């Protein structure tokens, strides 16, 4: 074992010891699939979004009709994130389904939407209670 290997090991041990879990990771620590589904879709503090779901969808549809898919995808993601916050499973499926269709990206939240939304609601009740 060389000096460089020893140094790497020391850094790895230190980073493992100092790594702290985010609130979402802590809440989902027994279900990594749900964590992965939420980390890319959920808004951690949706109260900071100054757009309603209806406005976001309206903008998304407008951009979609104009064939400006990057912007349409962005607004569907915002609408989907707000739908998670509202606990509306049907709209979460609809908006992230649109995102998947537009972007070609697979969204894990579509695999188990009900469970992911329920876990997100748990997060919001615990961390956004103020």
Give the tens place of pLDDT for each residue, 19-55. Answer: 455 888 888 888 889 999 999 899 989 999 999 999 9
d(CA 42, CA 105): 16
Residue 87 carries which DSSP code? T
* Pair of tokens at residue 102: 């537009």
Confirm if 123 and 23 have CB atoms less than 8 A apart: yes
Note the pTM of the prediction, 2 decimals.
0.81
Residues of the chain with pLDDT under 70: 1-21, 130
pLDDT score recorded for residue 16: 44
- Number of Cβ atoms within 10 Å of the Cβ of 37: 25
pLDDT score recorded for residue 29: 84
d(CA 38, CA 69): 23
pLDDT score recorded for residue 8: 56
Rounded-to-10 torsion of CA 95, 127, 118, 69: 10
């Amino acid at each position: 074992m060389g000096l460089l290997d020893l140094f790497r090991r020391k850094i790895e041990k230190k980073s493992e010891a100092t790594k702290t879990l985010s609130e979402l990771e802590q809440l989902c620590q027994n279900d990594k699939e749900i964590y992965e589904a939420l980390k890319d879709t959920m808004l951690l503090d949706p109260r900071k979004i100054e757009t309603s779901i209806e406005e976001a969808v309206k903008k998304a549809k407008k951009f979609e009709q104009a064939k400006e898919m990057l912007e349409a995808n962005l607004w569907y993601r915002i609408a989907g994130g707000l739908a998670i916050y509202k606990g509306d499973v049907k709209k979460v499926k609809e908006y992230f389904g649109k995102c998947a269709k537009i972007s070609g990206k697979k969204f894990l939240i579509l695999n188990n939407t009900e469970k992911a939304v329920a876990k997100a609601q748990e997060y919001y009740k615990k961390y956004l209670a103020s």
